[in-house]
């Protein structure tokens, strides 16, 4: 009986928490986030291209090249790649909705308290990232 009551109370609390609509993020915050995300992706792609260029001599060795070509031909690898790309396409709207919900919650609950210090931290780390992980070649 006590366990049932506790479960019902827990469910009621969880329903009440999610019954409140998540606030919408401001357009300025979404644009700022999109800009930071774009620069982050550029940094990652630049680092990956440098890594791929460094690994090219290793990948050109006959054993490694043959192994990678054989791996690409395997049906399991092909089907796994198709499944992953299909899942990514299907989950894109859900991820975007979740991202906007998190940005809205951040804007409403956290930004008034930590927004300025987080902005300063991001601006202070940018010069270090420009040296260590530049966005451009």
What residue segments make up the domains of the chain, in order of their start? Answer: 25-132
pLDDT at position 13, please? 61
pLDDT at position 128, please? 95
pLDDT at position 35, please? 96
d(CA 106, CA 119): 13
pLDDT at position 73, please? 85
Our CA angle for 135, 98, 102, nearest 5°, is 75
The whole-model pTM stands at 0.72
pLDDT in tens, the chain (137 residues): 666 766 666 667 655 555 567 789 999 999 999 999 999 999 999 999 999 888 888 777 778 778 888 888 888 888 888 898 988 888 899 899 989 999 999 999 999 999 999 999 999 999 999 999 998 87
Helices 27-59, 62-73: inter-axial angle, 10-degree rounding = 130
Q: Which of 40, 53, 58, 41 is nearest to 125 (CA)?
A: 40
Cα 36 to Cα 30, 47, 106, 122, 130: the distances in Å are 10, 17, 16, 9, 13
What phi, psi does 133 have (nearest 5°)?
-140, 75
């Amino acid at each position: 009986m006590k366990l049932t009551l506790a479960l019902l109370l827990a469910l009621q609390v969880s329903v009440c928490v999610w019954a409140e609509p998540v606030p919408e993020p401001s357009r300025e915050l979404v644009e700022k986030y999109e800009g930071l995300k774009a620069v982050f992706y550029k940094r990652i792609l630049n680092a990956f291209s440098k890594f791929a260029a460094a690994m090219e001599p290793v990948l050109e060795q006959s054993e490694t090249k043959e192994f990678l070509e054989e791996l690409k031909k395997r049906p399991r690898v092909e089907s796994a790649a198709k499944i992953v790309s299909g899942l990514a396409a299907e989950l894109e709207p859900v991820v975007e909705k979740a991202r906007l919900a998190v940005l809205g919650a951040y804007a409403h609950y956290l930004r008034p308290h930590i927004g300025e210090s987080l902005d300063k931290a991001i601006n202070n780390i940018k010069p270090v990232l420009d040296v260590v992980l530049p966005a451009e070649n």
